[in-house]
Structure 1
Amino acid sequence: MPSLNITASGGRGILSIQNPQKLSSCNSTIPTSILVTRRKNDVFLTAPYGKCSINVSFSVKSQYLTPQEQRQQQQQQQRRFSSYESPSPSQPGQSPPRVYVGYTIYKGKSALAVEPRLPEFSPLESGAFKLSKEGFVLLQFAPAAGMRQYDWSRKQLFSLSVTEIGNIISLGPRDSCEFFHDPYKGRSEEGKVRKVLKVEPLPDGSGHFFNLSVQNKLINVDENIYIPITKAEFTVLVTSFDFILPYLLGWHTLANSTSPEEMSRLNNANSTVDYEWSR
Protein backbone atom coordinates (compact mmCIF):
# COMPACT_ATOMS: atom_id res chain seq x y z
CA MET A 1 0.00 0.00 0.00
CA PRO A 2 1.60 3.33 -0.99
CA SER A 3 1.85 6.05 1.63
CA LEU A 4 0.13 9.36 0.95
CA ASN A 5 1.04 12.92 1.89
CA ILE A 6 -1.31 15.82 1.21
CA THR A 7 -0.44 19.50 1.13
CA ALA A 8 -2.97 22.17 0.33
CA SER A 9 -3.03 25.88 -0.43
CA GLY A 10 -6.29 27.76 -0.78
CA GLY A 11 -8.77 25.50 -2.55
CA ARG A 12 -6.18 23.33 -4.37
CA GLY A 13 -3.55 20.91 -3.24
CA ILE A 14 -1.10 18.19 -4.24
CA LEU A 15 -1.42 14.52 -3.27
CA SER A 16 2.10 13.04 -3.19
CA ILE A 17 2.60 9.26 -3.24
CA GLN A 18 5.83 7.97 -1.72
CA ASN A 19 7.55 4.92 -3.20
CA PRO A 20 4.90 4.20 -5.91
CA GLN A 21 4.59 0.50 -6.67
CA LYS A 22 3.22 -1.20 -9.78
CA LEU A 23 -0.41 -2.13 -9.37
CA SER A 24 -2.90 -4.20 -11.42
CA SER A 25 -2.23 -6.26 -14.53
CA CYS A 26 -1.92 -3.31 -16.86
CA ASN A 27 1.61 -2.73 -15.60
CA SER A 28 0.89 0.88 -14.72
CA THR A 29 2.41 2.88 -11.90
CA ILE A 30 0.57 5.31 -9.74
CA PRO A 31 1.66 8.86 -10.65
CA THR A 32 3.86 10.46 -8.03
CA SER A 33 1.52 13.46 -7.76
CA ILE A 34 -2.17 14.01 -8.27
CA LEU A 35 -3.89 17.35 -8.50
CA VAL A 36 -6.43 17.81 -5.70
CA THR A 37 -9.28 20.28 -6.07
CA ARG A 38 -11.60 21.01 -3.20
CA ARG A 39 -15.16 22.22 -3.27
CA LYS A 40 -16.63 22.59 0.21
CA ASN A 41 -16.13 19.20 1.91
CA ASP A 42 -15.72 17.12 -1.28
CA VAL A 43 -12.35 16.12 -2.70
CA PHE A 44 -11.86 15.39 -6.40
CA LEU A 45 -8.73 13.74 -7.74
CA THR A 46 -7.47 14.28 -11.26
CA ALA A 47 -4.52 12.20 -12.43
CA PRO A 48 -2.29 14.07 -14.89
CA TYR A 49 -1.68 10.85 -16.79
CA GLY A 50 -2.31 7.16 -16.58
CA LYS A 51 -2.45 4.11 -18.83
CA CYS A 52 -5.35 2.37 -17.15
CA SER A 53 -7.96 2.83 -14.50
CA ILE A 54 -6.89 2.10 -10.97
CA ASN A 55 -8.60 2.36 -7.62
CA VAL A 56 -6.75 3.94 -4.71
CA SER A 57 -8.24 3.91 -1.23
CA PHE A 58 -7.20 6.66 1.18
CA SER A 59 -8.67 9.09 3.66
CA VAL A 60 -8.29 12.87 3.68
CA LYS A 61 -8.49 14.98 6.81
CA SER A 62 -9.42 18.53 6.01
CA GLN A 63 -7.06 21.18 7.41
CA TYR A 64 -9.35 24.05 6.50
CA LEU A 65 -10.72 25.73 9.64
CA THR A 66 -13.61 28.10 9.93
CA PRO A 67 -12.91 31.45 11.66
CA GLN A 68 -14.61 30.11 14.79
CA GLU A 69 -12.44 26.97 14.77
CA GLN A 70 -9.33 29.09 14.28
CA ARG A 71 -10.23 31.20 17.33
CA GLN A 72 -10.82 28.08 19.41
CA GLN A 73 -7.46 26.66 18.33
CA GLN A 74 -5.67 29.91 19.26
CA GLN A 75 -7.36 29.94 22.68
CA GLN A 76 -6.27 26.34 23.30
CA GLN A 77 -2.68 27.20 22.37
CA GLN A 78 -2.70 30.24 24.65
CA ARG A 79 -4.00 28.15 27.57
CA ARG A 80 -1.40 25.48 26.88
CA PHE A 81 1.53 27.89 26.67
CA SER A 82 0.38 30.04 29.60
CA SER A 83 1.22 27.20 32.00
CA TYR A 84 4.89 27.57 31.06
CA GLU A 85 5.07 31.30 31.67
CA SER A 86 7.28 32.54 34.51
CA PRO A 87 5.53 33.77 37.66
CA SER A 88 5.05 37.51 37.89
CA PRO A 89 7.50 39.51 40.01
CA SER A 90 6.78 39.69 43.71
CA GLN A 91 4.64 42.69 44.61
CA PRO A 92 3.15 43.79 47.94
CA GLY A 93 -0.13 42.04 48.59
CA GLN A 94 0.52 39.19 46.16
CA SER A 95 1.45 35.61 47.03
CA PRO A 96 4.04 34.36 44.54
CA PRO A 97 5.37 30.79 44.74
CA ARG A 98 7.59 30.37 47.80
CA VAL A 99 11.30 29.99 47.09
CA TYR A 100 13.77 28.71 49.68
CA VAL A 101 17.43 29.72 49.45
CA GLY A 102 20.32 29.76 51.85
CA TYR A 103 23.96 29.01 52.51
CA THR A 104 25.18 26.39 55.00
CA ILE A 105 28.68 25.93 56.43
CA TYR A 106 29.60 22.59 57.98
CA LYS A 107 32.49 22.17 60.39
CA GLY A 108 33.59 19.44 62.81
CA LYS A 109 31.82 20.73 65.94
CA SER A 110 28.93 22.72 64.48
CA ALA A 111 27.09 23.95 61.39
CA LEU A 112 25.78 27.38 60.42
CA ALA A 113 22.79 27.90 58.10
CA VAL A 114 22.12 31.39 56.73
CA GLU A 115 18.73 32.31 55.22
CA PRO A 116 17.22 35.67 54.19
CA ARG A 117 13.75 36.75 55.30
CA LEU A 118 11.98 39.33 53.14
CA PRO A 119 10.26 42.45 54.53
CA GLU A 120 6.58 42.84 55.30
CA PHE A 121 4.17 45.45 53.92
CA SER A 122 0.92 46.92 55.20
CA PRO A 123 -1.90 48.17 52.92
CA LEU A 124 -2.96 51.83 53.04
CA GLU A 125 -6.42 53.25 52.46
CA SER A 126 -5.21 54.69 49.16
CA GLY A 127 -4.52 51.19 47.86
CA ALA A 128 -0.75 51.60 48.13
CA PHE A 129 1.55 49.61 50.41
CA LYS A 130 3.97 50.74 53.09
CA LEU A 131 6.92 48.90 54.59
CA SER A 132 5.86 47.70 58.06
CA LYS A 133 8.77 45.46 58.97
CA GLU A 134 12.27 45.27 57.54
CA GLY A 135 13.65 41.96 56.41
CA PHE A 136 16.49 40.21 58.18
CA VAL A 137 18.97 37.37 57.84
CA LEU A 138 18.35 34.34 60.02
CA LEU A 139 21.37 32.51 61.43
CA GLN A 140 20.85 28.94 62.64
CA PHE A 141 23.60 27.33 64.71
CA ALA A 142 23.45 23.56 65.22
CA PRO A 143 25.89 21.51 67.36
CA ALA A 144 27.49 18.37 65.96
CA ALA A 145 25.94 15.02 66.94
CA GLY A 146 28.59 12.79 65.38
CA MET A 147 30.79 12.49 62.32
CA ARG A 148 29.16 14.75 59.68
CA GLN A 149 25.94 14.73 61.66
CA TYR A 150 24.26 17.72 63.28
CA ASP A 151 21.46 18.02 65.81
CA TRP A 152 19.16 20.62 64.25
CA SER A 153 16.60 19.99 67.01
CA ARG A 154 19.00 21.82 69.34
CA LYS A 155 19.64 24.68 66.95
CA GLN A 156 19.92 28.22 68.26
CA LEU A 157 18.62 31.17 66.24
CA PHE A 158 19.91 34.69 65.82
CA SER A 159 18.33 37.28 63.51
CA LEU A 160 20.61 39.90 61.95
CA SER A 161 18.99 43.28 61.32
CA VAL A 162 19.97 45.40 58.32
CA THR A 163 22.26 47.52 60.52
CA GLU A 164 23.94 44.45 61.99
CA ILE A 165 24.39 43.11 58.47
CA GLY A 166 26.07 46.40 57.58
CA ASN A 167 28.47 45.94 60.49
CA ILE A 168 29.49 42.48 59.26
CA ILE A 169 29.90 43.69 55.68
CA SER A 170 32.27 46.45 56.84
CA LEU A 171 34.52 44.15 58.89
CA GLY A 172 38.19 44.05 57.96
CA PRO A 173 40.48 41.01 58.39
CA ARG A 174 41.34 42.07 61.96
CA ASP A 175 38.03 43.68 62.95
CA SER A 176 35.40 42.25 65.28
CA CYS A 177 31.84 43.05 66.31
CA GLU A 178 29.33 41.95 68.94
CA PHE A 179 25.53 41.93 69.01
CA PHE A 180 23.21 41.49 71.98
CA HIS A 181 19.55 40.44 71.66
CA ASP A 182 16.79 40.13 74.24
CA PRO A 183 13.70 38.75 72.44
CA TYR A 184 11.49 39.76 75.37
CA LYS A 185 12.72 43.32 75.76
CA GLY A 186 9.90 45.57 76.97
CA ARG A 187 7.82 42.60 78.15
CA SER A 188 7.39 40.85 81.47
CA GLU A 189 9.98 38.19 80.52
CA GLU A 190 12.68 40.79 79.80
CA GLY A 191 16.13 39.62 80.87
CA LYS A 192 15.21 35.93 80.98
CA VAL A 193 16.58 35.23 77.50
CA ARG A 194 19.99 36.55 76.54
CA LYS A 195 21.65 36.05 73.16
CA VAL A 196 25.14 37.32 72.30
CA LEU A 197 26.76 36.89 68.90
CA LYS A 198 30.46 37.65 68.54
CA VAL A 199 32.29 37.82 65.23
CA GLU A 200 36.05 37.84 65.84
CA PRO A 201 39.09 37.31 63.62
CA LEU A 202 40.95 33.99 63.82
CA PRO A 203 44.40 34.27 65.46
CA ASP A 204 46.21 33.37 62.23
CA GLY A 205 44.15 35.80 60.14
CA SER A 206 42.64 33.01 58.02
CA GLY A 207 39.04 34.02 58.70
CA HIS A 208 36.59 34.73 61.52
CA PHE A 209 34.95 33.00 64.46
CA PHE A 210 31.16 33.15 64.79
CA ASN A 211 30.38 32.53 68.45
CA LEU A 212 26.76 32.42 69.70
CA SER A 213 25.97 32.12 73.41
CA VAL A 214 22.38 31.66 74.54
CA GLN A 215 21.08 31.81 78.11
CA ASN A 216 17.40 30.98 78.37
CA LYS A 217 16.10 30.86 81.94
CA LEU A 218 12.58 30.05 80.74
CA ILE A 219 13.59 26.55 79.61
CA ASN A 220 16.86 26.27 81.55
CA VAL A 221 19.19 26.38 78.55
CA ASP A 222 22.76 27.63 78.60
CA GLU A 223 24.51 26.90 75.33
CA ASN A 224 27.56 28.16 73.53
CA ILE A 225 28.11 27.30 69.84
CA TYR A 226 31.04 28.56 67.81
CA ILE A 227 32.14 27.87 64.26
CA PRO A 228 35.27 28.99 62.37
CA ILE A 229 34.62 30.70 59.03
CA THR A 230 37.38 30.75 56.40
CA LYS A 231 38.17 33.77 54.23
CA ALA A 232 36.39 32.20 51.26
CA GLU A 233 33.28 31.37 53.31
CA PHE A 234 33.27 34.83 54.87
CA THR A 235 33.54 36.37 51.38
CA VAL A 236 30.48 34.39 50.29
CA LEU A 237 28.57 35.67 53.33
CA VAL A 238 29.60 39.29 52.80
CA THR A 239 28.80 39.17 49.08
CA SER A 240 25.40 37.61 49.77
CA PHE A 241 24.64 40.17 52.50
CA ASP A 242 25.65 43.01 50.21
CA PHE A 243 23.33 41.74 47.46
CA ILE A 244 20.27 41.07 49.63
CA LEU A 245 20.41 44.27 51.70
CA PRO A 246 18.26 46.48 49.37
CA TYR A 247 15.67 43.70 49.21
CA LEU A 248 15.49 43.53 53.00
CA LEU A 249 14.67 47.25 52.94
CA GLY A 250 11.96 46.68 50.35
CA TRP A 251 13.50 48.99 47.78
CA HIS A 252 13.13 46.42 45.00
CA THR A 253 9.32 46.71 45.19
CA LEU A 254 9.50 50.42 44.37
CA ALA A 255 11.70 49.78 41.35
CA ASN A 256 9.52 46.91 40.08
CA SER A 257 6.09 48.43 40.67
CA THR A 258 6.55 52.05 39.57
CA SER A 259 6.42 52.95 35.89
CA PRO A 260 8.31 55.99 34.51
CA GLU A 261 5.01 57.81 34.04
CA GLU A 262 3.99 57.14 37.62
CA MET A 263 7.39 58.21 38.91
CA SER A 264 7.14 61.50 37.03
CA ARG A 265 3.66 62.10 38.42
CA LEU A 266 4.87 61.48 41.98
CA ASN A 267 7.86 63.77 41.52
CA ASN A 268 5.63 66.54 40.15
CA ALA A 269 3.25 66.14 43.10
CA ASN A 270 6.18 66.70 45.46
CA SER A 271 7.70 69.55 43.46
CA THR A 272 7.32 71.95 46.42
CA VAL A 273 9.94 70.02 48.39
CA ASP A 274 13.18 72.00 48.58
CA TYR A 275 15.64 69.38 47.37
CA GLU A 276 19.28 69.96 48.13
CA TRP A 277 20.28 69.84 44.44
CA SER A 278 17.68 72.47 43.51
CA ARG A 279 19.14 75.12 45.74
Structure 2
Amino acid sequence: MVSLNITAPGGGRLSILNPQKLSSCNSTVPISILVTRSKNEIFLTGPHGKYSKNVPVIVKSQYLTPQELQQQQRFSSLKSPSPSQTAGQLPRRVYVGYTIYKGKAALAVEPCSPEFSPLESGAFKLSKEGLILLQFAPAAGVRQYDWSRKQLFSLSVTEIGNIISLGTRDSCEFFHDPHKGRRMNLCSEEGKVRKLLKVEPLPDGSGHFFNLSVQNKLINVDENIYIPITKAEFAVLVSSFNFILPYLLGWHTFANSTRPEDASRLNNANSTVDYEWNR
Protein backbone atom coordinates (compact mmCIF):
# COMPACT_ATOMS: atom_id res chain seq x y z
CA MET A 1 0.00 0.00 0.00
CA VAL A 2 1.29 3.48 -0.94
CA SER A 3 0.15 6.64 0.82
CA LEU A 4 1.15 9.98 -0.78
CA ASN A 5 0.38 13.29 0.96
CA ILE A 6 1.08 16.75 -0.49
CA THR A 7 0.70 19.77 1.77
CA ALA A 8 0.98 23.42 0.72
CA PRO A 9 1.68 26.35 3.07
CA GLY A 10 -1.76 27.82 2.40
CA GLY A 11 -3.43 24.87 4.04
CA GLY A 12 -4.37 22.88 0.94
CA ARG A 13 -3.65 19.16 1.12
CA LEU A 14 -3.92 16.26 -1.29
CA SER A 15 -3.90 12.68 0.01
CA ILE A 16 -3.85 9.81 -2.49
CA LEU A 17 -3.90 6.08 -1.70
CA ASN A 18 -2.61 3.82 -4.49
CA PRO A 19 -2.46 6.63 -7.12
CA GLN A 20 -1.86 4.13 -9.92
CA LYS A 21 -5.42 2.83 -9.44
CA LEU A 22 -7.15 6.18 -9.99
CA SER A 23 -9.56 6.27 -12.90
CA SER A 24 -8.62 8.41 -15.95
CA CYS A 25 -12.28 9.42 -16.21
CA ASN A 26 -11.90 11.72 -13.21
CA SER A 27 -10.63 14.97 -14.65
CA THR A 28 -10.19 16.64 -11.26
CA VAL A 29 -7.65 14.15 -9.90
CA PRO A 30 -4.22 13.61 -11.46
CA ILE A 31 -3.33 10.09 -12.52
CA SER A 32 0.31 10.40 -11.50
CA ILE A 33 2.52 12.83 -9.63
CA LEU A 34 6.19 13.39 -10.41
CA VAL A 35 8.29 15.28 -7.88
CA THR A 36 11.49 16.82 -9.22
CA ARG A 37 14.61 17.47 -7.21
CA SER A 38 13.50 21.07 -6.93
CA LYS A 39 11.46 21.53 -3.78
CA ASN A 40 9.08 23.98 -5.47
CA GLU A 41 8.09 22.11 -8.65
CA ILE A 42 5.88 19.10 -9.30
CA PHE A 43 4.53 17.62 -12.54
CA LEU A 44 0.94 16.41 -12.62
CA THR A 45 -0.35 14.06 -15.33
CA GLY A 46 -4.08 14.20 -15.88
CA PRO A 47 -6.57 13.03 -18.46
CA HIS A 48 -5.96 16.14 -20.59
CA GLY A 49 -2.19 16.01 -20.65
CA LYS A 50 0.80 16.91 -18.55
CA TYR A 51 1.22 20.19 -16.74
CA SER A 52 3.52 21.60 -14.09
CA LYS A 53 2.93 23.66 -10.97
CA ASN A 54 5.45 25.69 -9.00
CA VAL A 55 4.32 25.62 -5.37
CA PRO A 56 6.14 25.07 -2.10
CA VAL A 57 5.17 21.52 -1.15
CA ILE A 58 6.03 18.89 1.41
CA VAL A 59 5.80 15.34 0.10
CA LYS A 60 5.58 12.35 2.43
CA SER A 61 5.61 8.88 0.96
CA GLN A 62 4.90 5.93 3.21
CA TYR A 63 4.90 2.24 2.26
CA LEU A 64 2.90 0.10 4.65
CA THR A 65 3.10 -3.66 4.84
CA PRO A 66 -0.09 -5.56 5.78
CA GLN A 67 1.33 -6.07 9.29
CA GLU A 68 2.09 -2.34 9.66
CA LEU A 69 -1.37 -1.42 8.41
CA GLN A 70 -2.98 -3.77 10.92
CA GLN A 71 -0.86 -2.32 13.72
CA GLN A 72 -1.74 1.25 12.67
CA GLN A 73 -5.45 0.42 12.71
CA ARG A 74 -5.12 -1.15 16.15
CA PHE A 75 -3.42 1.96 17.51
CA SER A 76 -6.10 4.16 15.95
CA SER A 77 -8.84 2.11 17.61
CA LEU A 78 -7.13 2.52 20.99
CA LYS A 79 -7.01 6.30 20.63
CA SER A 80 -10.68 6.70 19.78
CA PRO A 81 -12.56 3.47 20.52
CA SER A 82 -16.14 3.15 19.43
CA PRO A 83 -18.89 2.02 21.84
CA SER A 84 -19.12 -1.33 20.02
CA GLN A 85 -15.40 -1.91 20.50
CA THR A 86 -15.35 -1.07 24.18
CA ALA A 87 -18.51 -3.00 25.02
CA GLY A 88 -16.83 -6.39 24.91
CA GLN A 89 -13.39 -5.40 26.12
CA LEU A 90 -12.05 -5.39 29.64
CA PRO A 91 -10.50 -2.14 30.87
CA ARG A 92 -6.74 -1.96 30.75
CA ARG A 93 -5.01 -2.96 33.97
CA VAL A 94 -3.88 -0.11 36.19
CA TYR A 95 -1.32 -0.61 38.97
CA VAL A 96 -1.47 1.62 42.05
CA GLY A 97 -0.01 1.51 45.51
CA TYR A 98 1.43 3.39 48.44
CA THR A 99 4.98 2.80 49.69
CA ILE A 100 6.49 3.90 53.00
CA TYR A 101 10.28 4.03 53.30
CA LYS A 102 12.04 3.96 56.65
CA GLY A 103 15.59 3.34 57.84
CA LYS A 104 15.29 -0.40 58.47
CA ALA A 105 12.53 -1.44 56.08
CA ALA A 106 10.02 -0.40 53.45
CA LEU A 107 6.33 -1.22 53.24
CA ALA A 108 4.46 -1.34 49.92
CA VAL A 109 0.65 -1.51 49.97
CA GLU A 110 -1.34 -2.61 46.90
CA PRO A 111 -5.01 -3.52 46.33
CA CYS A 112 -5.91 -6.76 44.55
CA SER A 113 -9.17 -7.07 42.62
CA PRO A 114 -11.98 -9.47 43.52
CA GLU A 115 -12.81 -12.43 41.30
CA PHE A 116 -16.16 -13.28 39.69
CA SER A 117 -17.58 -16.53 38.32
CA PRO A 118 -20.07 -16.68 35.42
CA LEU A 119 -23.50 -18.23 36.02
CA GLU A 120 -25.64 -20.17 33.55
CA SER A 121 -28.02 -17.21 33.40
CA GLY A 122 -25.26 -15.02 31.99
CA ALA A 123 -24.83 -13.08 35.23
CA PHE A 124 -21.73 -13.05 37.41
CA LYS A 125 -21.29 -13.89 41.07
CA LEU A 126 -18.50 -12.87 43.42
CA SER A 127 -16.30 -15.94 43.94
CA LYS A 128 -13.37 -14.41 45.80
CA GLU A 129 -13.15 -11.14 47.68
CA GLY A 130 -10.34 -8.73 46.91
CA LEU A 131 -7.55 -8.05 49.37
CA ILE A 132 -4.80 -5.65 50.34
CA LEU A 133 -1.30 -6.98 49.72
CA LEU A 134 1.42 -5.83 52.13
CA GLN A 135 5.03 -6.23 51.00
CA PHE A 136 7.77 -5.82 53.61
CA ALA A 137 11.33 -5.37 52.33
CA PRO A 138 14.34 -5.13 54.68
CA ALA A 139 16.89 -2.37 54.20
CA ALA A 140 20.11 -3.24 52.36
CA GLY A 141 21.85 0.09 52.91
CA VAL A 142 21.14 3.80 53.06
CA ARG A 143 17.92 4.33 51.09
CA GLN A 144 18.32 0.89 49.57
CA TYR A 145 15.97 -2.06 50.07
CA ASP A 146 16.29 -5.73 49.21
CA TRP A 147 12.99 -6.50 47.47
CA SER A 148 14.25 -10.00 46.62
CA ARG A 149 13.86 -10.80 50.33
CA LYS A 150 10.43 -9.24 50.63
CA GLN A 151 7.79 -10.94 52.75
CA LEU A 152 4.11 -10.84 51.81
CA PHE A 153 1.02 -10.60 53.93
CA SER A 154 -2.52 -10.41 52.52
CA LEU A 155 -5.19 -8.52 54.45
CA SER A 156 -8.76 -9.77 54.08
CA VAL A 157 -11.67 -7.33 54.14
CA THR A 158 -12.36 -8.15 57.81
CA GLU A 159 -8.71 -7.60 58.75
CA ILE A 160 -8.82 -4.32 56.85
CA GLY A 161 -11.83 -3.37 58.96
CA ASN A 162 -9.84 -4.11 62.11
CA ILE A 163 -7.03 -1.78 61.04
CA ILE A 164 -9.45 0.95 60.00
CA SER A 165 -11.11 0.89 63.44
CA LEU A 166 -7.85 1.18 65.41
CA GLY A 167 -7.54 4.10 67.76
CA THR A 168 -4.33 5.83 68.80
CA ARG A 169 -3.68 3.33 71.63
CA ASP A 170 -5.28 0.26 70.05
CA SER A 171 -3.51 -2.78 68.64
CA CYS A 172 -4.38 -5.91 66.67
CA GLU A 173 -2.66 -8.98 65.29
CA PHE A 174 -3.34 -11.50 62.53
CA PHE A 175 -2.05 -15.04 62.10
CA HIS A 176 -1.85 -16.69 58.67
CA ASP A 177 -0.96 -20.23 57.60
CA PRO A 178 -1.08 -20.25 53.78
CA HIS A 179 -1.26 -24.05 53.67
CA LYS A 180 -3.95 -24.53 56.26
CA GLY A 181 -6.64 -26.84 54.94
CA ARG A 182 -4.66 -27.68 51.81
CA ARG A 183 -3.11 -30.99 50.87
CA MET A 184 -0.47 -31.44 48.20
CA ASN A 185 0.54 -34.93 47.05
CA LEU A 186 -1.17 -36.42 50.12
CA CYS A 187 1.41 -34.65 52.32
CA SER A 188 0.09 -31.77 54.37
CA GLU A 189 2.30 -28.68 54.62
CA GLU A 190 0.05 -27.13 57.22
CA GLY A 191 2.03 -25.47 60.01
CA LYS A 192 5.25 -25.25 58.02
CA VAL A 193 4.66 -21.61 57.06
CA ARG A 194 3.57 -19.26 59.82
CA LYS A 195 3.02 -15.53 59.43
CA LEU A 196 2.16 -13.16 62.26
CA LEU A 197 1.40 -9.48 61.69
CA LYS A 198 1.16 -7.18 64.70
CA VAL A 199 -0.04 -3.57 64.54
CA GLU A 200 0.82 -1.85 67.80
CA PRO A 201 0.85 1.79 68.93
CA LEU A 202 4.17 3.62 69.25
CA PRO A 203 5.11 4.42 72.86
CA ASP A 204 4.71 8.18 72.35
CA GLY A 205 1.37 7.82 70.57
CA SER A 206 2.75 9.26 67.31
CA GLY A 207 1.74 6.30 65.15
CA HIS A 208 1.88 2.50 64.95
CA PHE A 209 4.42 -0.28 64.49
CA PHE A 210 3.80 -2.81 61.72
CA ASN A 211 5.72 -5.93 62.73
CA LEU A 212 5.74 -9.02 60.46
CA SER A 213 7.24 -12.32 61.63
CA VAL A 214 7.64 -15.14 59.09
CA GLN A 215 8.73 -18.70 59.80
CA ASN A 216 8.99 -20.85 56.68
CA LYS A 217 10.33 -24.36 57.34
CA LEU A 218 10.01 -25.28 53.67
CA ILE A 219 12.86 -22.94 52.66
CA ASN A 220 14.43 -22.47 56.10
CA VAL A 221 13.49 -18.81 56.56
CA ASP A 222 12.98 -17.08 59.89
CA GLU A 223 12.57 -13.35 59.44
CA ASN A 224 11.22 -10.45 61.46
CA ILE A 225 10.60 -7.10 59.76
CA TYR A 226 9.14 -4.08 61.52
CA ILE A 227 8.51 -0.55 60.36
CA PRO A 228 7.15 2.49 62.24
CA ILE A 229 4.18 4.24 60.65
CA THR A 230 3.53 7.88 61.57
CA LYS A 231 0.09 9.34 62.22
CA ALA A 232 0.05 10.97 58.79
CA GLU A 233 1.08 7.77 57.01
CA PHE A 234 -1.45 5.75 59.00
CA ALA A 235 -4.14 8.30 58.06
CA VAL A 236 -3.32 7.77 54.38
CA LEU A 237 -3.62 4.00 54.83
CA VAL A 238 -6.95 4.29 56.64
CA SER A 239 -8.35 6.69 54.03
CA SER A 240 -7.21 4.41 51.18
CA PHE A 241 -8.64 1.33 52.91
CA ASN A 242 -11.99 3.07 53.45
CA PHE A 243 -12.16 4.02 49.79
CA ILE A 244 -11.19 0.66 48.31
CA LEU A 245 -13.15 -1.62 50.66
CA PRO A 246 -16.47 -1.62 48.69
CA TYR A 247 -14.51 -2.39 45.53
CA LEU A 248 -12.84 -5.38 47.18
CA LEU A 249 -16.33 -6.67 47.95
CA GLY A 250 -17.37 -6.18 44.32
CA TRP A 251 -20.18 -3.78 45.21
CA HIS A 252 -19.12 -1.34 42.49
CA THR A 253 -19.96 -3.92 39.80
CA PHE A 254 -23.45 -4.30 41.23
CA ALA A 255 -23.95 -0.52 41.37
CA ASN A 256 -22.70 -0.06 37.79
CA SER A 257 -24.92 -2.85 36.43
CA THR A 258 -28.15 -1.76 38.14
CA ARG A 259 -30.61 0.27 36.06
CA PRO A 260 -33.92 1.69 37.32
CA GLU A 261 -35.96 -0.15 34.69
CA ASP A 262 -34.43 -3.49 35.73
CA ALA A 263 -34.72 -3.10 39.51
CA SER A 264 -38.34 -4.31 39.97
CA ARG A 265 -37.96 -7.10 37.43
CA LEU A 266 -34.84 -8.48 39.12
CA ASN A 267 -36.33 -8.20 42.60
CA ASN A 268 -39.51 -10.02 41.54
CA ALA A 269 -37.45 -12.76 39.86
CA ASN A 270 -35.51 -13.40 43.04
CA SER A 271 -38.21 -15.20 45.00
CA THR A 272 -35.80 -16.40 47.71
CA VAL A 273 -35.41 -12.90 49.13
CA ASP A 274 -37.96 -11.93 51.76
CA TYR A 275 -37.71 -8.22 52.36
CA GLU A 276 -38.70 -7.05 55.82
CA TRP A 277 -40.81 -4.20 54.48
CA ASN A 278 -42.78 -6.62 52.28
CA ARG A 279 -44.09 -8.62 55.24
TM-score of the alignment, normalized to the shorter chain, above 0.5:
yes
1:259 alignment counterpart = 259
Shift in CA distance, 227/186, structure 1 to aligned 2, threshold 3 Å: same
Larger gyration radius, structure 1 or structure 2:
1
| In 2, Cα distance between equivalents of 1:174 and 1:278 | 45
1:138 alignment counterpart = 133
| In 1, Cα distance between equivalents of 2:101 and 2:220 | 27
Matches within 5 A, 1:191-202: 191-202=191-202
Matches within 5 A, 1:2-81: none
Contact 1:87 1:96 in 2 (8 A): no
Residue ranges of structure 1 left out of the alignment (5+ in a row): 7-39, 43-56, 60-78
| In 2, Cα distance between equivalents of 1:161 and 1:252 | 18
Question: Quick one: which of 94, 110, 114 aligns to 1:99?
Answer: 94
TM score, norm. by length of structure 1: 0.68
| 1:147 and 2:151 correspond | no
Question: Quick one: which of 175, 181, 202 aligns to 2:176?
Answer: 181
Shift in CA distance, 109/273, structure 1 to aligned 2, threshold 3 Å: closer
Shift of 1:84: 2.9
Letter of the structure 2 residue corresponding to residue 150 of structure 1: Y
2:216 alignment counterpart = 216
Letter of the structure 1 residue corresponding to residue 258 of structure 2: T
How big is the alpha-carbon RMSD for the aligned residues of Structure 1 and Structure 2? 2.9
The alignment partner of 2:195 has SS state of strand
TM score, norm. by length of structure 2: 0.68
Shift in CA distance, 278/148, structure 1 to aligned 2, threshold 3 Å: same
| In 1, Cα distance between equivalents of 2:173 and 2:193 | 17
2:31 alignment counterpart = none
Question: Quick one: which of 114, 117, 132 aligns to 2:112?
Answer: 117
Aligned residues: 209
| 1:160 and 2:155 correspond | yes
Shift in CA distance, 184/102, structure 1 to aligned 2, threshold 3 Å: same
| In 2, Cα distance between equivalents of 1:176 and 1:80 | 51
| In 2, Cα distance between equivalents of 1:87 and 1:155 | 43
1:249 alignment counterpart = 249
The alignment partner of 2:180 has SS state of coil
Contact 1:179 1:198 in 2 (8 A): yes
| In 1, Cα distance between equivalents of 2:233 and 2:132 | 16
